[in-house]
Amino acid sequence: MLAGLLSKYLPVFKVDIACFYHSITETEISKENLKKISLRMTFTNQFPILKTCTYLNTAYSGILSEPLLNWRRTHDLNFFEHGSAFRLHQAEFLQEVKVALASFFKAEAARTFLVPNFSFGFNTFLGGLNASHRFLLLQEDYPSVNFAVTGRGFANECLPVDAHLEENILAKIKVFKPTVFAFSLVQYINGIKFDAVFLKKIKEQFPDLLIVADGTQFCGTERFDFEQSGLDVLIASGYKWMLGGYGNGFVFLKEEVASRLYQSGQQIAHPKEPFLKDKSLLSLYFEPGHQDTLAFGSLLQSVLMLENIGQDVIESTIKELTDQAKKAFTERGLLHPVVAERQNHSSIFSLNLPEKIYRKLTEAGIGCTFRGAGIRVSFHFYNTAQNLAHLLKVIDQNR
């Protein structure tokens, strides 16, 4: 399915490995390394910001590629030149976006919804639940997760994130008996990541508990099979690791939860207008009004790009760099012990360093974020061991 879409929309994104191999066949470099070097060269060409900046800030915002910039220009030129005619096929186009997303994350297109961002999707999901639900949350999780729940007055308890996170969650579920566990798959400040095996285990032990994940800091970093996962709901914004620009996000629902949402809406008469006749009940809630083909088209382009690079290449590149970074940060005592001790961490790190070092990093052209607890750096597939070395050098020189 994605292969068809790739050839239709993405001639511009072909990674020209073959040509690169051809020009240097007589070297000692292994084919595997060659492929990596070739990809790196392609990344710096496709994301020119990487030539001038050590970009370690994807946890804040993904970057825009040149092919995507060109696609967006063409899209708006079309609007400019054709007015309403350019929207004639928007319904089919948005459906293609859903199909591509569902295929990428192994979800069902019929239960995939396009939303402007995570917060909208999550609030809409909560609006479809009955008020008696009890939520288990995590302390210091992203405010759009926790506030959306507490602000609506749902009963809840918040668990601290410590070295025994997984055991604490299981113990808390037994005592508090929540009906929903809502959390970010990767915690936005310290980068602590939930393991897919653990999520499956909770679902097996507590099949009636709804497991609702915010994937904004996760989606786009690893292969993920939603239908096989322990999750009931996955919602994410597309502007970080998916590299889709702003104004797009997505919601995946498992069949059972979809049938339980907006039950009162089932009794209300649907709009009769012909242009709404094909919308499902849940689409009326999650996708009200006109949708932006620039925003969702950008997300489609990004999904095709990630698919073209290869999810396995992305995952292994991030893992390799994350392992190197974690070792170097641990040796320097820059990580919280809870993070240092975890086996499986994301590529987001909060470094225990003062604001004065943040200023030095910025002066040295390193993109990162200062948060009260330290300096947050994050590594995507387009980052390199040289980026890490540059970061460590500036830190070591200024401590």
Ligand X SMILES: Cc1ncc(COP(=O)(O)O)c(C=O)c1O
List interacting residues with ligand X (CB under 6 A): 117-119, 142, 144, 184, 188, 214, 216-217, 237
Give the integer Cα–Cα distance in Å for 68 and 76. Answer: 12
Residue pair 200/211 in contact (Cβ under 8 Å)? The answer is no
Nearest distance from C-beta of residue 117 to ligand X, angstroms: 4
Nearest distance from C-beta of residue 160 to ligand X, angstroms: 17
Residue pair 348/186 in contact (Cβ under 8 Å)? The answer is yes
Q: Which is nearer to ligand X, 141 or 232 (CB)?
A: 141
Q: Which is nearer to ligand X, 192 or 309 (CB)?
A: 192
Q: What's the sign of the alpha-carbon dihedral 293, 295, 299, 302?
A: positive
The one-letter amino acid code at 347 reads S
Give the integer Cα–Cα distance in Å for 97 and 370. Answer: 35
Q: Which is nearer to ligand X, 79 or 120 (CB)?
A: 120
Nearest distance from C-beta of residue 194 to ligand X, angstroms: 12
Q: Which is nearer to ligand X, 237 or 302 (CB)?
A: 237
Nearest distance from C-beta of residue 36 to ligand X, angstroms: 29
Cβ-proximal residues to 182 (8 Å cutoff; 6+ apart), any chain? 122, 135, 136, 137, 145, 149, 212, 213, 214
Q: Which is nearer to ligand X, 117 or 190 (CB)?
A: 117
Q: Which is nearer to ligand X, 42 or 350 (CB)?
A: 350
The number of C-alpha atoms within 13 Å of 346 and in the hemisphere containing its C-beta is 31
Nearest distance from C-beta of residue 106 to ligand X, angstroms: 21
Nearest distance from C-beta of residue 332 to ligand X, angstroms: 25
H helix intervals, 129-217 = 143-151, 165-176, 196-205
Query: Strand pairing partners for 375?
Result: 351, 370
